[in-house]
């Protein structure tokens, strides 16, 4: 879009200064985010020398976007922005406006929002972000869940809801591809991502920095069309069509650019889909599919020849034995405490080896399966001779799963 002469003359000193700050900060935020692996030593130097932060700032990938590294990088961006803007302001006093830079900034923001919304949106559609309930999660009480665990349980419960939210994010991102639909797409992204940001803030989900910036980016694009939006939605006035000028003067050049853009969009979408499908397949491959996989509830527990009653104060008696992932098992005690083991299952010798970080060798437990719903374990764990009888629990045994959906409810079923 090309501004009129009057609009160009409206760029006063403070407006130009505000734009320099905005432009510099956004570019730095995107660049330092993408190049984080190359900036670890620089960020460490900044943390120790400038901020006086004593500990090592690590870039270790943990799934969190709110690490110390991320906040130090954010502070680094702010400091560097101040320096660049000061120098820019001294060297560029005669510039009447930043029309071309502004157009470039909106293009960059649109690209970032397109990529982000496709990644987040398809992640929900293909159940990559919020997985189905695990057995371990189902046997936890609500009070044992972390706020983030509660949010993940809520979101993971319904695939239909994930598809709804995911498609809304994909729609908002897709609308970034055209300047004609940018405002509509920004409004959709603002609505969806404001909800995501509030969940991150109120459920302690460590993606607060990124989600806040996505909301910020969508607001920038909306504010670019603020007058027309206020006139239409608030003042109930008629608005004129927004003029959209072609990027180049030559029609052929614009046609080639349009074709390249469409090709890139298809290529990016295919790459994102392939990555999500591979991730989904990997998650399925990591599931234990042996004959002892599942959730087993203890019916009888003998320790060193003594039968232990199911007392909730007993920290040695097993309540549940969970085999859900390959090479992993979880024991939930009667007290609610969880013990995690690395496992190796030998279906020929009918043995399962349980080991820990302290005892990497571990000892085998022999197992028998009298029928598909019963499991018998016996052997030595931690120096104690155990003999355990367990009963298999299915997903449908849990109210959260078997309650289902009801069009008609005479009374709320909120238990």
Percentage of residues of the chain with pLDDT beyond 70: 93
Instruction: In whole angstroms, give the CA distance from residue 267 to residue 236.
Output: 42
The pTM of this model reads: 0.86
- Model confidence at 193, in pLDDT bands (50, 70, 90)? very high
Rounded to the nearest 10 degrees, how much is the dihedral formed by the CA atoms of 329, 385, 140, 368? 60
For 233, other C-beta atoms within 10 Å of its C-beta total 10
pLDDT in tens, 247-291: 666 777 778 777 887 787 788 878 877 877 777 666 767 777 788
87: tokens are 């120098």
* Whether pLDDT at 411 is above 50: yes
Structure confidence at residue 298 (pLDDT):
96
Bridge partners of 384? 381
The region of weakest confidence among 18-32, 85-99, 271-285 is 271-285
> pLDDT > 90: what percent of the chain?
59
| Per-residue pLDDT, 4 | 44
98 in Cβ contact with 19 (< 8 Å): yes
Range with the poorest average pLDDT among 59-63, 135-139, 164-168, 225-229: 59-63
pLDDT score of 68: 93
CB atoms within 10 A of CB 156: 18
pLDDT at 3 over 80: no
Q: What does the alpha-carbon distance between residue 194 and residue 208 come to, in Å, rounded to a whole number?
A: 11
The pLDDT score that the predictor gives to residue 283 is 72
pLDDT per residue as tens digits for the range 311-360: 999 999 999 999 998 889 999 999 999 999 998 888 888 999 888 877 66
Task: Please give the mean pLDDT across all residues of the chain.
Answer: 88
Report the pLDDT value the prediction gives residue 386, as an integer from 0 to 100: 92
> What domains are there in the chain, each with its CATH number?
294-397 (2.40.128.270)
User: Between the ranges 69-83, 99-113, 270-284, where is the mean pLDDT highest?
Assistant: 69-83
Nearest to 357 by CA among 333, 335, 328: 328
Band (87; pLDDT cuts 50, 70, 90): very high
What is the predicted pLDDT for the residue at 95? 66
């Amino acid at each position: 879009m090309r501004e009129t002469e009057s609009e160009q003359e409206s760029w006063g000193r403070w407006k130009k200064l505000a734009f320099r700050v905005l432009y510099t900060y956004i570019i730095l935020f995107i660049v330092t985010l993408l190049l984080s692996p190359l900036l670890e030593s620089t960020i460490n130097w900044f943390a120790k020398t400038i901020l006086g932060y004593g500990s090592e700032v690590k870039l270790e990938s943990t799934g969190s976007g709110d690490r110390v590294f991320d906040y130090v990088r954010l502070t680094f961006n702010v400091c560097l922005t101040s320096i660049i803007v000061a120098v820019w302001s001294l060297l560029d006093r005669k510039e009447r406006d930043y029309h071309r830079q502004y157009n470039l900034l909106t293009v960059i923001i649109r690209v970032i929002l397109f990529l982000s919304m496709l990644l987040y949106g398809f992640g929900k559609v293909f159940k990559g972000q919020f997985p189905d309930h695990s057995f371990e999660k189902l046997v936890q009480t609500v009070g044992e869940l972390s706020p983030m665990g509660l949010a993940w349980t809520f979101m993971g419960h319904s695939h239909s809801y994930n598809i709804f939210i995911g498609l809304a994010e994909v729609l908002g991102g897709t609308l970034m591809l055209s300047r004609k639909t940018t405002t509509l797409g920004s409004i959709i992204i603002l609505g969806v991502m404001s909800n995501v940001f509030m969940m991150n803030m109120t459920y302690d989900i460590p993606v607060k920095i990124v989600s806040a910036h996505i909301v910020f980016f969508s607001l920038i694009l909306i504010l670019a069309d603020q007058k027309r939006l206020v006139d239409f939605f608030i003042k109930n006035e008629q608005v004129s069509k927004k003029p959209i000028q072609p990027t180049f003067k030559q029609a052929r050049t614009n046609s080639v650019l349009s074709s390249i853009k469409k090709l890139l969009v298809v290529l990016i979408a295919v790459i994102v889909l392939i990555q999500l499908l591979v991730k989904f397949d990997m998650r399925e491959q990591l599931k234990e599919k042996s004959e002892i996989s599942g959730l087993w509830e203890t019916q009888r527990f003998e320790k060193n020849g003594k039968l232990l009653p199911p007392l909730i104060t007993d920290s040695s008696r097993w309540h549940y034995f969970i085999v859900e992932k390959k090479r992993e098992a979880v024991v939930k005690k009667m007290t609610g405490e969880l013990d995690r083991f690395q496992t190796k299952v030998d279906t020929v010798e009918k043995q399962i080896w349980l080991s820990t970080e302290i005892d990497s060798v571990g000892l085998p437990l022999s197992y028998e399966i009298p029928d598909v719903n019963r499991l018998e374990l016996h052997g030595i764990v931690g120096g104690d001779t155990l003999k355990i009888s367990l009963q298999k629990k299915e997903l449908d045994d849990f109210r959260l799963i078997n309650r289902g959906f009801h069009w008609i409810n005479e009374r709320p079923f909120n238990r």
